[in-house]
């Protein structure tokens, strides 16, 4: 599954955690650039949207969440830490791939 990550300057161990769930980062947008905060379309291959909420403004978060909802793309919102991402995935019913 290809995911679009929004927020956070660096991802640390998050790509490793996502790989355990067979999720690939198709694109990462930091959200700091004002051009990234609005009107950036979702890439066509996006199957999941991950919002790292502690490094993302409310307006940008709302824009990406609404855009994903309009396209029927699931949204995962959590803090920018590998542990928080793993906990949120498990909470939403995801299981690590063997």
Q: Are 25 and 8 in contact (CB under 8 A)?
A: no
CATH number at residue 52: 3.40.50.11900
- The answer as to whether 69 is a domain residue is yes
Q: What is the pTM of this model?
A: 0.89
Q: Which helix (H) or strand (E) holds 19?
A: helix 14-20
- The answer as to whether 42 is a domain residue is yes
| CA 2/CA 49 separation, integer angstroms | 9
| CA 90/CA 46 separation, integer angstroms | 20
Q: Which of 13, 49, 5 is nearest to 31 (CA)?
A: 5
- The answer as to whether 78 is a domain residue is yes
Containing structural domain, residue 43: 2-92
What's the average pLDDT block by block, 10 residues per block, for the chain (98 residues)? 91 95 93 67 91 85 91 94 95 88
- The answer as to whether 98 is a domain residue is no
Number of structural domains in the chain = 1
């Amino acid at each position: 599954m290809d995911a679009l990550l929004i927020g956070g300057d660096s991802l640390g161990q998050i790509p490793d955690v996502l790989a355990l769930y067979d999720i690939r980062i198709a694109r990462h947008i930091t959200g700091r650039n004002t051009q990234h905060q609005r009107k950036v379309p979702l890439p066509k291959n996006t199957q999941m949207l991950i919002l790292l909420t502690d490094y993302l403004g409310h307006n940008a978060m709302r824009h990406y969440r609404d855009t994903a909802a309009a396209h029927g793309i699931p949204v995962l919102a959590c803090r920018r830490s590998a542990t928080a991402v793993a906990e949120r995935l498990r909470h939403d019913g995801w299981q690590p791939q063997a």
